[in-house]
Amino acid sequence: MVLSGFFAGTHTLVAQATAPAEGDDLGALYRSGYQAFDAGQFADAAAKLQKLVSLVGDDAKLEEVYYTIAAAHFNLKDYPKAIAAFELFLKKFPKAVRGVDARFAIAQCHLLNKNFAEAARLFKDLEAIPALRDRALFLNGSAQNQAGNLGEAATAFERLITPKIATPLQMRGAQILVEIYSKRNEPDKAVALLRTIQKRIVLAENVVNLNSLAVQLGDAFLKAGRNANALDCYRMVRLPDQVIALQEDRIRAMNERIEGLKELQRGNPQQALANRPVIEQIEKDITSSTALLEQFRKLPNYIPAMYLRMGQCFYQLNRKWEAIVLYRDILDRWPADPAREQAMYALLVTYAEVGRAETALRYCRIFLKEFPTSKHAGTVGYLTGAAALQAEDPAAAETYFGTMLRSGGEGAFKQEMQFLLGNAQMMQGKNEQAVQSYKQYLKQHPTGPHADEAGYRIALATMLQGKYGEAVAQLRSYISANPSGTYVADAEYRLIIAKYAENDFKGAIALANAWEEKRPRDEQLGEVLSLKADALAAIQQDAESADTYARAAKAATTDEVLGYAIFEANKAYQRLREWDKVIALWNDVLKNRRNSPLVVAAVYWIAGAQSKQGKEDEAKRFVARTVAEHIGDPDREAVEQLLTQLAQLCAKKKRPRDADGNFIDPSTLPPAPDPAVEMEELLKPAVQRMAALAGSTSSAPSSDDAALAAAAFGGVAPTNAPAPVISFNENTAKARILYAKSELAAFKRQQPESDRLLEQITKEYKPEDLSPMLLGKLGDYLLGRGRTNAARAYYTTLRTEFPKAMVVDFAYAGLGRIACDSGDYKTTLVLCDEAAEKGVIGLKTRELDILRAQALAGLQRHEEARKAFEAIASNKEYRGEATALAVFNLGEVARAQGQVAEANAFYQRVYVAYRKFLPWVAKAYLRSGELFEKVGDQPAALRTYREMQRNEKLQPFPEYAEAVKRADALAARGVKAAPEPEPAP
């Protein structure tokens, strides 16, 4: 009953009305009727009072009796009779004080009788009465809501809570309105109102229900895929402790209100009478709230389950790290909650998806340990292996897949695991086992999703075992069994490899031709052509080989194939002096691969070819235009290479030719321009570009950029290539201009000027502004001047900011040298190992090899050091000072191992065979003399020191002074120098 208290209180007012005075019978009937009403015997009350009315007749004094009869029918839930009685009351007493109450009661009867339309109409009329406005609006909204007229219901409730929620009734209306908004698919309104409700929670009679509303609304949004709205709702859900505290607070407030009312009515019976229904209602509310609270206390914690749903929302919003936060919270904060299994499963899957394979793997293991019989166990078993593969741990993957497969069961992932087991084995080079795994897969799942690939991989794994004959048979068998298989093209490519491996180059060429004929546009064509070019080169068909490499480069779809093919083609054309073809080869890169890092290299080679053709001026302008395009992009590493090339071209004294290419006597011509002025002129476009782009960072090119880019590409505006992204750093550009000038000065043999310009760069620009090559060069420049700390900053920036740079080896070599020279051999070795692991090769490879050997020697790992120095000494590419250094150090290693004679032989080899390398010669002489002294051969020692002193070039070295000192000491002791040994026959 919506307003039961309303009618429960009616009789108290009626009791005060004047009783009929027409006789004792009527009076008795009157009292008896009201006593029955008071006792809740409404049928009896209605009957007696109705009898009273019929006895008395149509008397205006019975106004309250008519009202009470209607109230009795209402309380009996006989709404048709109640409506009739209230309408009769209104007809008989149109000006009655309680007329408004009667109208309200009629509307209520219609509502309770589910006559919603009529109820809504009547409540709407009652809204105009200020005292009833809120209740009428509330009940109108309720009626419309129950009738399914959500729009009208929303309007009524919106009016109820406008301008604000200030009463408990308005709060109840607001809560219903949230549900209506949800049903009407108005999530923004629902969430906004729910947020307002939370701010006015003091008015909520039932916090438990309010909490449930937020959860339900969140769930509804989640189901509808409105994840962001769902999250908004879930975030408004209070923790159980907070709900309990708030609900206890409500109950306490209600008790205090009763106490307050009782305090007010003390000594005031009339007030007490008026308060009675109110107190009764509050007591009922306390009872229901307390019961609800007790029920709530017994509920399991709903937060973990809600966090799961929040995690799901974030996951679906592709905010997976946020989902991880929630899943981890469940595991950490409520370790025994039933949601744990689901949370851990969701967590490990999400970790795998964000690429945290090792963490995913860790949770996979925990999951399988904690929930071995989970319905997700099969999936997790599979994920464990997959995560291990992702974590590049194929050995672990093999173990997991193997264990899961041995444990039996017919999990959904069994097929997948059998196949991946083979992949894990192949990754470890266990090709024989891999073949068995794939065969097992094909046996168990001959039509499985990986059957095609498994068949192909069997052949591939066989080939990798070097069993070419067997592999060829398997490949052929695979091709004939799967003529339209996914891997047929690759299988046929492998057949070409097999031919090549057997040195059947002509056979390989024939197969490659057939391959190309079948698939002229296949993405693997570049690889096939590259292999064909190798075969052509092997049979000395150089011109055709070069052209085929060029075609391979054009067809290449990967950087690896492109890089290999284009440089092979370039080398071959250079050998053949086919300069036009070199230019065409690299022009193709400029036109069709504009985002490739090869772009600047292309310019370098084109300019080189132009120069070879005697078109130096054209070459210079071409280089300068490209420099202008990329001068501010630190990632374009080859810019420095171009600047060096430009400086070289400018510094070069060319022999002038006439129009027919004949050399002209230079004295007949006006003087050649000063190289510095010429380079300044050539770099003007770069300076202009700097001014145009100064202050910009990285952005898509504007139309001006496009024009500049076109200019930089020799005026060729590519049509189908994607527009390049312009990256511009003004400081990089300025530093590069200085670098170009420094290079020019170096070519002109003006070393002090070259150094001054490098010094200027170090003073004016921070390492973070510079390109990889400048970082490396300046690091070396500073290290060469003993400015170790400054050098370290440049090398460190290069190592951390440009880890993939072509010249990152400068960083490893520089940092390694600093560490080695300070005696920190451990760090030196770590740096060398890191460089090796990353496959760093370049200009500093030799230095890194030397550092590694020196570090090993410093760490007293003599045998490893000896091997490392031997490798350096025997490396023909390192011939020169590195060999002298290595031989000297071989002596050092031998000396440290007590092998005196061997050591001395190495030292003598240095000062006999590598006399050019004075620092090592000086060291070798001194060490040799010392060793002779050590073994007691003083004359040989003195001879060695004297021999050293005869070489004046050694005087600046500290070893020289030491040798003089030692020689004088020996002479003072009367030692005579041993005679020169006989020259070897």
Structure tokens at 677: 């002025």
Does 118 engage in binding with another protein (CB under 8 A)? no
Nearest distance, CB of residue 173 and another protein, angstroms:
18
Q: Tell me the H-state helices in 652-787.
A: 675-682, 684-693, 703-712, 730-747, 751-764, 772-784
- The site map against another protein for 605-644 (x = CB under 8 A) is -----------------------------xx---------
Q: Which is nearer to another protein, 199 or 298 (CB)?
A: 199
Residue type, 763: K
Does 596 engage in binding with another protein (CB under 8 A)? yes
Q: In this structure, are strands 726-727 and 698-699 parallel, antiparallel, or unpaired?
A: antiparallel
- The site map against another protein for 718-747 (x = CB under 8 A) is ----x--x-x--------------------
Q: Which is nearer to another protein, 106 or 261 (CB)?
A: 261
CA 137/CA 115 separation, integer angstroms: 17
* One of 111, 326, 531, 818 touching another protein (CB under 8 A): 326
Nearest distance, CB of residue 310 and another protein, angstroms:
7
Does 874 engage in binding with another protein (CB under 8 A)? no
Residues of this chain, 642-681, that bind another protein according to CB under 8 A:
none
- DSSP for 875-908 reads -GGGTTHHHHHHHHHHHHHHHHTT-HHHHHHHHH
**DSSP helix/strand/coil, 308:** helix
Backbone φ and ψ for 95, nearest 5 degrees, come out as: -105, 15
CA dihedral 554, 559, 563, 566 (to 10 degrees): 10
Does 314 engage in binding with another protein (CB under 8 A)? yes
CA 960 to mean position of chain CA atoms: 60
Residues of this chain, 353-372, that bind another protein according to CB under 8 A:
354-356, 359
Q: Which is nearer to another protein, 444 or 699 (CB)?
A: 699
Residues of this chain, 451-510, that bind another protein according to CB under 8 A:
none
Does 264 engage in binding with another protein (CB under 8 A)? no
Backbone φ and ψ for 782, nearest 5 degrees, come out as: -70, -40
Question: Both ends of the chain: CA-CA distance in Å?
Answer: 128
Q: Which is nearer to another protein, 392 or 432 (CB)?
A: 392
CA 720/CA 722 separation, integer angstroms: 7
Segments of 472-560 assigned E as strands: none
Cis check for the bond before 269: say yes or no (omega within 30 of 0).
no
In DSSP terms, 663 is beta-bridged to 657
Nearest distance, CB of residue 835 and another protein, angstroms:
16
Q: Which is nearer to another protein, 244 or 396 (CB)?
A: 244
CA dihedral 498, 504, 507, 512 (to 10 degrees): 50
CA 33/CA 42 separation, integer angstroms: 9
Q: Which is nearer to another protein, 354 or 716 (CB)?
A: 354
* One of 129, 224, 239, 543 touching another protein (CB under 8 A): 239
Q: Which region, judged by CB under 8 A, interacts with another protein, from 38-46, 63-71, 193-201, 711-719?
A: 193-201
Size of site (CB under 8 A) for another protein? 46
- Is residue 649 within 8 A of residue 608, CB to CB? The reply is no
Q: Is the dihedral of CA 57, 61, 65, 66 positive or negative?
A: positive
Q: Which is nearer to another protein, 370 or 559 (CB)?
A: 559
Q: Which is nearer to another protein, 309 or 946 (CB)?
A: 309
Does 559 engage in binding with another protein (CB under 8 A)? yes
CA 723 to mean position of chain CA atoms: 26
Integer CA distances (angstroms), 154 to 118, 190, 193, 198, in order: 18, 11, 12, 19
* One of 485, 597, 614, 939 touching another protein (CB under 8 A): 597
Structure tokens at 926: 């001194």
**DSSP helix/strand/coil, 78:** coil
In DSSP terms, 657 is beta-bridged to 663
Does 325 engage in binding with another protein (CB under 8 A)? yes
Q: Which is nearer to another protein, 667 or 720 (CB)?
A: 720
Q: Which is nearer to another protein, 59 or 768 (CB)?
A: 768
**DSSP helix/strand/coil, 698:** strand
Does 697 engage in binding with another protein (CB under 8 A)? yes
Q: Which is nearer to another protein, 97 or 245 (CB)?
A: 245
Q: Which region, judged by CB under 8 A, interacts with another protein, from 282-290, 638-646, 800-808, 879-887?
A: 800-808
Nearest distance, CB of residue 432 and another protein, angstroms:
35
Which residues bind to another protein, rule: CB under 8 A? 198-202, 235-239, 242, 245-246, 256, 310, 314, 319, 321-322, 324-326, 328, 354-356, 359, 558-559, 593, 595-597, 634-635, 697-698, 700, 722, 725, 727, 801-805
